[in-house]
Amino acid sequence: MEKGNAFLELFRQLEECLQHNIEPTKGSLSVEGRLNAFAQKYPVHIQSVAKLHGYRKLRNALVHYRGPSGEFIAEPSEQSLREFEQIVQAITSPPRIIPLFGKSDLRLFSPRDLLMNALQYMGKENYSQVIVQTEGELSLLTVEEIAKWLEKQAWKDFISLQEATIADAQSADAQEDKQAKNVGFMSQDQTIDDAKQKFMLALEQGEPRIYALHITENGEPTEAPLGIITPWDLIPH
């Protein structure tokens, strides 16, 4: 009895969240329709919504079919209830990116800084990119860009890493003002779902790969960075 009531309470919370997150014009949809609309709006939850359709059937059984004394004729198992609770919590209360990905010791590099210093910092911190601040705006220098620069320099007779600067290593795309496309920006009050969505949509829409998301107060590239998120950070380890 307790598991059945706990399940229905969780489902009620889920329905409230779905109602809040879909367009008002779709407010008259069935639970199934609201789940599908939610998955369309938030593709990061497609797999979870597929499971929720199964739990929706259990919910219908609990609500519409009772024993002679009103008791539930079926209840979720302990394991199923735990899984359902985790899915509902992930949808209704996704963690915010701050403080989860906040960093107070982020180092900002200048285009005039030596490339060797950036490489040493990457190696020490096990990073694959560094943040570059150019005329007040934030961008990235990635190991991929450095590799491309080295490849171009290989055709020359002499490469001086001791003298090369970050500006030297930045790609031609960066100098055509396309560099900003390899980094996204998020405000401090956004959630992990928002971050996953941003990475995912860039791939699905054929946009340039986003290597990292800078977190600032209002998601503006001219604001001080509060943290950084890479796709690797969002993969369960």
- What integer pLDDT is reported at residue 181 of this predicted model? 57
Spell out the domains of the chain, with CATH numbers in brackets. 2-93 (no CATH), 99-234 (3.10.580.10)
Predicted model pTM: 0.75
Q: What is the DSSP string of 54-116?
A: HHHHHHHHHHH-B-TTS-BS----HHHHHHHHHHHHHHHSPPBHHHHTB-S-PPEE-TTSBHH
Residues of the chain with pLDDT below 70 are 1, 24-28, 157-159, 171-181, 236-237
- What integer pLDDT is reported at residue 179 of this predicted model? 47
- What integer pLDDT is reported at residue 201 of this predicted model? 82
pLDDT digits (tens, 9 = 90+) for 113-169: 999 999 999 999 999 899 999 988 888 898 988 998 888 887 776 667 888 999 998
Pairing of strands 137-142, 212-216: unpaired
SS3 category, 22: coil
